A and B are shown apart, each in its own frame.
Chain A
Amino acid sequence: MTTDLSSSDPERDPVDVLADEFAARYRKGETPSITEYVRRYPEHAGQIQSLFPSVALLEQLGLRPDGADRSCGHGQQGRLPPHHRLGDFEILREIGRGGMGVVYEAVQQSLHRAVALKVLNTAAVHSDNQAKRFEREAQAAARLHHTNIVPVFGVGEQDGLRYYVMQRIHGLGLDALLGELGRRTGRHRSPESASAPAGEHSVSAHALVDVLISGELSDSQTGTFTPGRDDSSGRSANVSSPGDSVVTASLPASGPADEKTRLFAITPSNGKTSEDVADCGPPRDIVPSDRVPSDSVPCDPVPCDPVADAEPASRPAVRSSQILQDEITAAQPLDDRDSQTLRSPGNTAPATGGASHSFGRRYWRNIARIGMQVADGLQYAHSQGTLHRDIKPANILLDTDGTAWIADFGLAKVLEADNVTRTGDVVGTLRYMAPEQFHGAASVRSDIYSLGLTLYELLTLRSADGETDRQKLIAHKLTPHDPPSLRKAASDIPRDLDTIVLKCLAYEAKDRYATAGDVVADLQAFLDDRPIQARQSFPVERLWRWCRRNPAVATLSGTVALLLLVTVGLTSAGYVQEKQRATEERRLRSDAVASQQKAEASREKAEDIVRIAFEAFDDIGQLFVSNDVIGTIALDDEDSDEQLQVAAFSPETAAIMEQLRSSFDKLAKVAGEDRRFLDYAAKADLRAGELHLRLSQWGQAEAAFSRAIRLYEQLEEEQQDPETRLRLAKLYNGLGVALVSPRDWERKREAQRTALSLLRDEIDRPEMQFELARTHYLMGRRSFGRGPGESPPPRDDRRGPPVPDGRRGPPPSITDRPGPPGQQPPLRDQPVGEELRDRRDDGRSYRRGGRRPDGARRDSENRDHLEKAAALFTDLVAKHPSVSLYQYWLALCYLETAKQSLYSAEAITGRTQAITILETLVDEHPEQADYLYQLSEAYALSDARLRGASGHGPHRIPEGAAPETISGVEHDLREALRVSDELIKRQPHVPGYAMSNFMLLVRLADVKRVQKEYRDALELFDRAQQARATFAERFPEMRSIGGRPGSSLDFMQQFVHAHLLVAEGRIADARAILQPLVDRFENNEVTEPRGRRHRLPREILAVYRLLETCYNELGEGERADDVRAKLEAMNREEDARGGRLAPRRPPPEL
């Protein structure tokens, strides 16, 4: 195509006309040569040379990469024919093709040596500046002289083609070896295996892989294969190469060419793996065979071929050309295979069912040796100021001696910066790129990352980034993550090797090895079975980073905590070791400054470890104790009037907390031995104590808090520091909560008072004010086991065991000795849970029992504290309306007030205020289970409606209560149940929540019974039974809680059922239920978890009455009379007791 400039539009600039033609050829898919234009239009040579590269650039940018606008790739030069001369070089044949150019095998005429020649695309070097830059990089690469770096002989330019001359290496790219390895394990089902690859290539890859698996590479930088097994020794033993592993530049290999050498030297590999080429470039293009002109295959023997020279009889060149034919036809599938190897570990893995390949120890060690060689080469290059930027299997060659060679130094930079790399070319490289390289920041550590990925792939035969889709791969690359352990893919990979590779692959560059030399050192240590450097701090750092990056996940995931726990032992041990080592070193060579410094550094490292570990744990610990969320839920036990303490977290969480707690204990112990870590120790103790509290481990909590307090006392000088005072106050408050026994009453008060005094002066800071308010709240809370997070009701030792045995129960008194009621004091013998009832009795019980002379005083004290707490919380809420924690605590405060003033107007107000706040909080933070739970609690405080009522147990509707009161209670309970249902839907594994839900059902059922709506009541009892069954199933260890068959729940249910039957006129059926109930009662067979049945009698009277009715209805007067007699006896008994059992006078109603 020639443009006749003279005939073209005279108005136009001739260069414009030429550029137009040049561009048009681009659009047609040609790659016009600038040189050609210079030659054709010498009069415009200057402008052509100067401007056409820009035209090419614009055209490349403007063209669609999907090929819509072009029929074939542009920017590629055509294939250079054999015998084509480029300067001193004569092309023999093409042996590889990549984004940046085509690689040829060539002969340097002047030196008569075989070289690899990479001819760069015109587009790759399209301006003078770029050309200069390319030369600079090539020169830098040429200065690199290292056993493991493919020597670059130089660069040149001829006819506008720039090329790069390298030593030809007789070996295979690691990508080819990966392919072979994949075939062996069946991991990579490659088209190649189906398409019968060129036999000799198979042999060579096969041989190399044999050696990798069962031979042994030397530990030196130049690897030397040691044959590993006999059958391969025939070949491998001979591999010992003609001359050095570094083929000298001067002469072709001249030693007696054994068969092996010949195979390597002559056998062309597939285009991608380039068996004897020092280049594998960035991912090669697929070279469709139909585009390869058949006449490009060299047909003549090449006289300078080293092997041909050495052994002309074998006519290797002819064979070479024949094989080359095969190669070309195989090029497509081979490339496919290869890209699949790299690209789709994901879809090959399932083929083996995830089973790990297992080449065994020799293999791991050989790969480690390769890694060492490459790292050593990198270290050298880095020390010379040269980065590789494109380390990947294809750029690492393993020669027949077992030496690894890094190819293509410096080229990536030229390309990355300036070349218009075509879409497909980038992909292969992408996989091995470090994340930061996507942002254009390459460093020593990026090369280390790429090496890490290469090793990962060699060791596991799968890619660390298992993404097959390019876009997903990118997204994956750009998302912070840590690579999966290699041991997941191959479980027998040595742990240290795993650690080394993972350290190379840390997402953050700063977390990787600092230098390639460090990689060498650790790999060497691994090979020598010495401890590696990466080991000690790495897991902690890794977890720490993980937590940092995934705060939300970390919050939710117990796994993190568990992982941390795994490392805490390690860390503590590591710390201790370091400490010991440091001490030892100091002692042994206290005079040697250097070693002291070393010891110092070692100690500092230890400190770092402690600090990192501590911070990580503290954060995790915070999750479990934050906001002072409730640890246990206190529930009024239907059966015993005792309060049950049921965990407000799932058993899994409890397990984690327990482990965390023990970690904190350990940390505190370890850190406490060193004065510099006292602060950590104290903090760890605080956390441990808090966790103990949540786990209801009162004694241990007390110990932890006391220990921390003592530690702080050692730091006396810091006492004035407000931060320290705040922490101390927290500790004292914790101690106060932990002191649950009545014996410790004074200590408890003392602790709380100390907390108070520590905080009193300084409430200008919100956290101080908060803690002060909390202190008041704790002091104002009904003491001993009546609040969230506190103890189960302690037994009052002064009054003996709380559980009276059956003989003292009422039934015997009825059946056997209906005599003096004074002999049955079971109701009075209630050591715990008494306060509520006492208060409800308007102080009567104080009078009667005389057990709490200071009760009234304490009540008013309590109220004082609660008022103060409420005022402080209110103030905090006003000042910091956005902090839900303050609102939550204010609500708790109101709730506590309401609980303490039940049956008064105050109770109603407090409860309403609490509900209002909690409703809002639940709206705003639907995810907070605590808020939901407290809301349910507040609603369930329906006793507040029963103002002035007395003579009934907690949550009991007094007989004769006004219907509107009862329906009010019902409404409350239904609301509470609604919230509770929501709660257990979200948190089905928290026993406390499940239990609370069950209790509400029972209470509601009871309300329906009182309302005589037996059908509803029965239905609710059914639900309660179901809930109980679920509970027992879900929490087998807590089966006994919440009633068992035969307990009062069953009793009540059957009673209600009987009522229903009577109402329906099925008297006989009712009697059939009632009589056994009475019998069981009289035989003392009503099992109750805690043996006390102070509630039952009231209902049992009703049962007797109902049974009497039944007998009368059935006309069995005698029996009716019998029942009647027992009933009266019980009533008499009750009279004697003060009328508590069956109140004659209806209590005052609201």
Chain B
Amino acid sequence: MPDRPANDPQSELDQLQQGGPEAVARLFSQYRERLERMVRFRMDPRLSGRVDPDDILQEAYMEIDRRVQDYIGQPTVPLFVWMRQITWQTLIDTHRRHVVAKARNVNQEASRMPGAGATSVSMAAQLVGHLTSPSQAAIREERLQRVKQALDAMDETDREVLALRHFEQLTNNEVADVLGLQKAAASNRYVRALSRLKQTLDNERDED
């Protein structure tokens, strides 16, 4: 299964044009699980206590609904990729409201605002977030540090490719769309990123 069966882009567009708000809702709910995965993965851990991913998704959905005509007029990327972009933007806005505004005067954590460069941070957070207790965090710290360091040491695009493929579980084509790459390039990039990750992990391990 090289690619997840995706809706035919043209059919999606038709649905949107003809189906109105119901179609938007239906299509959104089709992608909802994947969008939620993205939100959970990308969300700053400091937000997670205060903001439910559902809230982000709801807000994103309203924004999608509002801007769907723009998309129909100029569908440059597949629908899922577009929805993901909007959701991502919503997440950034929420983050800005909740974390950055509050952190500005307190500390200089604003630099941790999510962005393309924050993938490795998100990854680390993803890993930490999965641990249900501080102890496990402590136990796995070494491993986390390694993966994080390995990811940090990587090219930004490589890192993003890995994140999109494995944490957001996007298909190669979707990754290509999100990153604005050719499919072949995205695929090569992915394989290259994998081998770099392996290299880095091996090197670090050998250093021990």
Residues in A neighbouring B141, C-beta threshold 8 A: 440
Q: Are A50 and B198 in contact (CB-based, < 8 A)?
A: yes
- CB contact between A55 and one of B3, B183, B194, B206 (< 8 Å): that residue: B194
Question: Which residues of chain A from 52 to 94 have a CB within 8 Å of any chain B CB?
Answer: 53-55, 57-59, 61-66
Residues in B neighbouring A423, C-beta threshold 8 A: 130-132, 136
Residue B73 is within 8 A (CB to CB) of chain A in the complex:
no
Q: Are B133 and A50 in contact (CB-based, < 8 A)?
A: no
Residues in B neighbouring A416, C-beta threshold 8 A: 139, 142
Residue A11 is within 8 A (CB to CB) of chain B in the complex:
yes
Known contacts A12-B187, A474-B134, A475-B134; A51 and B139 CB within 8 A of each other: no
Closest residue of B by beta carbon distance from A474: B135
Q: Are B172 and A51 in contact (CB-based, < 8 A)?
A: no
Q: Are B135 and A438 in contact (CB-based, < 8 A)?
A: yes
Cα–Cα distance between A1 and B126 once the two chains are bound (Å): 30
Question: Which residues of chain A from 9 to 48 have a CB within 8 Å of any chain B CB?
Answer: 9, 11-13, 15-17, 19-21, 23-24, 27, 47
Q: Are B172 and A62 in contact (CB-based, < 8 A)?
A: no
Residue B57 is within 8 A (CB to CB) of chain A in the complex:
no
Residue A593 is within 8 A (CB to CB) of chain B in the complex:
no
Cα–Cα distance between A438 and B136 once the two chains are bound (Å): 8
Question: Which residues of chain B from 129 to 161 have a CB within 8 Å of any chain A CB?
Answer: 130-136, 138-143, 147
Q: Are B132 and A418 in contact (CB-based, < 8 A)?
A: no
Known contacts A438-B135, A474-B134; A54 and B194 CB within 8 A of each other: yes
Closest residue of B by beta carbon distance from A59: B166
Nearest-Cβ distance from residue A600 to partner chain B, whole angstroms: 43
Q: Are B2 and A8 in contact (CB-based, < 8 A)?
A: yes
Residue A871 is within 8 A (CB to CB) of chain B in the complex:
no
Residues in A neighbouring B184, C-beta threshold 8 A: 11-12
Q: Are B136 and A53 in contact (CB-based, < 8 A)?
A: no
Residues in A neighbouring B198, C-beta threshold 8 A: 50-51, 53-54, 127
Q: Are A16 and B190 in contact (CB-based, < 8 A)?
A: yes
Known contacts A24-B1, A477-B135; A129 and B191 CB within 8 A of each other: no
| Chain A, interface residues (CB within 8 Å), range | 35 or more
Residue A3 is within 8 A (CB to CB) of chain B in the complex:
yes
Nearest-Cβ distance from residue A958 to partner chain B, whole angstroms: 63
Nearest-Cβ distance from residue A18 to partner chain B, whole angstroms: 9
Instruction: Count how many chain B residues have C-beta atoms less than 8 Å from C-beta atoms of the other chain.
Output: 44
- CB contact between A21 and one of B1, B127, B134 (< 8 Å): that residue: B1
Encode B172-199 as 1/0 by CB contact (under 8 A) with A. Answer: 1000000000111001101100110110
Cα–Cα distance between A478 and B41 once the two chains are bound (Å): 28
Q: Are A474 and B127 in contact (CB-based, < 8 A)?
A: no
Nearest-Cβ distance from residue B13 to partner chain A, whole angstroms: 22
Nearest-Cβ distance from residue B194 to partner chain A, whole angstroms: 5
Q: Are A13 and B135 in contact (CB-based, < 8 A)?
A: no
Residues in B neighbouring A13, C-beta threshold 8 A: 187-188, 190-191
Residue A439 is within 8 A (CB to CB) of chain B in the complex:
yes
Residue A858 is within 8 A (CB to CB) of chain B in the complex:
no
Cα–Cα distance between A384 and B111 once the two chains are bound (Å): 48
Residues in B neighbouring A655, C-beta threshold 8 A: none
Known contacts A50-B195, A58-B162, A478-B135; A127 and B205 CB within 8 A of each other: yes
Cα–Cα distance between A26 and B142 once the two chains are bound (Å): 24
Residues in A neighbouring B123, C-beta threshold 8 A: 61
Q: Are B201 and A19 in contact (CB-based, < 8 A)?
A: no
Q: Are B202 and A129 in contact (CB-based, < 8 A)?
A: yes
Residues in B neighbouring A16, C-beta threshold 8 A: 172, 187-188, 190-191
Cα–Cα distance between A66 and B133 once the two chains are bound (Å): 13
Residues in A neighbouring B182, C-beta threshold 8 A: 11
Residues in A neighbouring B167, C-beta threshold 8 A: 58, 62
Residue A195 is within 8 A (CB to CB) of chain B in the complex:
no
Cα–Cα distance between A1090 and B28 once the two chains are bound (Å): 94
Nearest-Cβ distance from residue B139 to partner chain A, whole angstroms: 6
What are 9 A-B contacts defined by CB distance under 8 Å? A3-B1, A3-B2, A13-B187, A17-B2, A20-B171, A47-B195, A53-B198, A438-B139, A474-B135
Binding site for A on B (CB under 8 A): 1-3, 41, 123, 126-127, 130-136, 138-143, 147, 162, 165-167, 169, 171-172, 182-184, 187-188, 190-191, 194-195, 197-198, 201-202, 205-206, 208
Binding site for B on A (CB under 8 A): 1, 3, 8-9, 11-13, 15-17, 19-21, 23-24, 27, 47, 50-51, 53-55, 57-59, 61-66, 127-130, 133, 416-418, 420-421, 423, 426, 430, 438-440, 470-471, 473-475, 477-478
Given contacts A65-B131, A129-B205, A470-B135, 20 further A-B contacts (CB under 8 A): A9-B2, A13-B190, A16-B190, A19-B190, A20-B2, A21-B2, A53-B198, A58-B166, A58-B167, A61-B126, A61-B166, A62-B167, A129-B206, A130-B205, A418-B205, A421-B139, A439-B138, A440-B141, A474-B133, A475-B134
Give me the 5 closest cross-chain CB pairs, A-B, nearest first.
A474-B135, A12-B187, A11-B184, A58-B166, A438-B138
